[in-house]
Structure 1
Amino acid sequence: MGSTAKAIMTGFICRLCSNQKKIVIHLYTQRAKKLELLKKIKLLPLDLTRYDNLPKTICEECINRLEIQYNMIQRIRKSHAIHRRHRMYHSNGRCPVECPLRGTVDPSWPEMALEESSV
């Protein structure tokens, strides 16, 4: 028998952080598909292919971080689309009823402009 000092911890390597973890999710399982991990990872600047020689597992900590990043990107895309529609509705300088931002107050607007617009 070998010494316990030389024993190697069993686990898997996370594709994103490269740490060895005991609990990971394999990228090509039903659970990963349900969590849309591949879709979310595609937002990262990585080359990920099914048959490369790199780890196919992700740890829970990286999954949580990936989820936060994905939600932030989705929020930015939605906000950008709203602002684009907002500009499209303002051909005459007024905010029509169908404008998605009608009635919202932007904190970057000066107070005087807000008061003048409400008159």
Structure 2
Amino acid sequence: MGSIGRARLTGFLCRLCTEMSRVVIHIYGDHGRRINLERKILKYQPVFVSPTDLLPKAICLQCVGRVERNYKLLKRLKHANGILIKLGKSPVGHQDSDEYSSEEDDIADDLKDLLKDL
């Protein structure tokens, strides 16, 4: 049986995929805070992270890329949905609703302009 004194860590355990990696981003480190990693995980992933939990606080670069791609995809889907709702004016569950933001008005106008050029 080996001793704990001879144990060698070969990297950090990724919080999301549980793989060991030598290069990670710490969720609450400078880079993790700069790219809003905690918010993107909490809001767009089925994972709860907290600075006080006892689980790893590092994410491998592959998972950082996955979180970023998922975040961008979900933002794009939400944006596209807003445009389609505005163009349709009566989406399911929103009949007779004029509760659209001015940002959605701008998006719809931009889309109409783009469609004219096609």
TM-score > 0.5, shorter chain as reference: yes
Alignment coverage as a number of residue pairs: 94
Aligned residue number for residue 12 of structure 1: 12
TM-score by length of 1: 0.68
Q: Which of structures 1 and 2 has the bigger CA Rg? A: 1
Change (3 A) 1:99 1:37: closer
Matches for 1:34-113 after TM superposition, within 5 Å: 34-42=34-42, 43-88=44-89, 99-100=108-109, 101-102=111-112, 104=115
- Point out the structure with the larger helix share: 2
Distance 2:70 2:59 in 1: 15
Distance 2:64 2:85 in 1: 31
Aligned residue number for residue 99 of structure 2: none
- SS of the aligned residue for 1:62 comes to helix
Change (3 A) 1:77 1:10: same
Q: Does the CA contact (< 8 Å) of 2:12 and 2:24 recur in 1?
A: yes
Amino-acid identity (%):
32
Distance 1:74 1:99 in 2: 16
Distance 1:38 1:7 in 2: 31
Show structure 1 runs of 5+ residues with no match: 92-97, 106-119
TM-score by length of 2: 0.68
Q: Cα RMSD between the aligned structures? A: 2.7
Distance 2:108 2:28 in 1: 43
